[in-house]
Chains A and B, each alone.
Chain A
Amino acid sequence: MDNIKIMRNMVSVVDEKRKSRKFPLSDTEFVKINNVSKQLGFKKPRDLMVYLCCGENSFIEKMAENERAHFAILLNPLATAINKIESGIDIENSQKQLIDEGKKLCRTYKL
């Protein structure tokens, strides 16, 4: 639960940053993706990535260097899927990939 609290604090910072740029998705697409992220326990899709990638994250910092790099490898399919969704390319398949890979990751690391 502590991890989730830290993540929520980070989310508010990220949201401020996001206001400054235009999100290239329509409202309905955005709602769909939001729902997917909430299923994974995250407020927004990118929050999962930020939560996992940010160096100041206590969860990440506890990891050994080798484990951290291995963790980053697990994240890559998620990164690609989110990048594609943000660019508005192949949204259906990318969403599916995001759900599958995200669930797998959350189960592995008990997030």
Chain B
Amino acid sequence: MPNLQVVNQVKHDFVAYNNLLYYVARPDRCRNRMIGMTNVFFDFSEAPKNLVNKQVQRFREYHSVNSRYAIHIIVCFSPDEVEYLSCNRVLEIGYFLAETEFKDCICFFAVHDHSTYEGTNKVYLHLDFMLIPFSIYDGRGYDCGKAGWYKIANDIKEYLKKFMPSSVISTHIIFPGRREKNDLFNEI
């Protein structure tokens, strides 16, 4: 089952913001440098903070944006689902998510391999997603709320049906602060 985790909302803290950028692009988990981004120019030979940060800052100043900096989302794919998905496909899901749900926003995402971290021989893939929640065109803030996250989870589920039987897919959403035993907020 893919879990959609709304992990964190990084406020106006430049260090936290950079940490999130580095976490998403970290080379030890990021398979074959599977990194994707929309609405931002990125060169692998440069550090993310030099390119992504600079461009985000430029838009913030241009539109006088005073909203929060970034949202961290993780979509976790179980071994059952990974049987039907390649890394490239997971990256494609990232582009789908960015271009349909967050079309105007700057998105930065990567495919992480968590197989060794989970301690099993099975393959776990995570799509780590960083969202800068304002429109680059008019500076309007983006806040989708819980209902919005449900819609997004549903859209991912629908998209996954192209690649695997429905019986394999079920979606859970996890919100920040609910990371305990009963953290599965609701099943869709």
Q: Do A and B come from one complex?
A: yes
Residues of A within 8 A of B (CB): 17-18, 20-21, 24, 46, 49-50, 53, 65-66, 68-70, 72-73, 75-76, 79-80, 82-84, 87-90
Q: Within the assembled complex, what's the spacing in Å between the Cα atoms of A96 and B88?
A: 21
A83 proximity list for chain B (CB < 8 A): 36-38, 42
Q: How many A-B residue pairs have CB under 8 A?
A: 63
As a 0/1 sequence over residues 152 to 170 of chain B, the CB contacts with chain A under 8 angstroms (1 = contact) are 0000000000000000000
Q: Within the assembled complex, what's the spacing in Å between the Cα atoms of A93 and B44?
A: 23
Q: Within the assembled complex, what's the spacing in Å between the Cα atoms of A83 and B40?
A: 9
B95 near A72 with CB under 8 A, answer no
B91 proximity list for chain A (CB < 8 A): 87, 89
Q: How many residues of B contact A (CB 8 A)?
A: 26
Q: Within the assembled complex, what's the spacing in Å between the Cα atoms of A88 and B44?
A: 15
B45 near A68 with CB under 8 A, answer no
A73 proximity list for chain B (CB < 8 A): 59, 136-137
B33 proximity list for chain A (CB < 8 A): 21
Q: Within the assembled complex, what's the spacing in Å between the Cα atoms of A73 and B32?
A: 29
B88 near A75 with CB under 8 A, answer no
B136 proximity list for chain A (CB < 8 A): 73, 76
B45 near A20 with CB under 8 A, answer yes
Any chain A CB within 8 A of the CB of B117?
Answer: no
A80 near B39 with CB under 8 A, answer yes
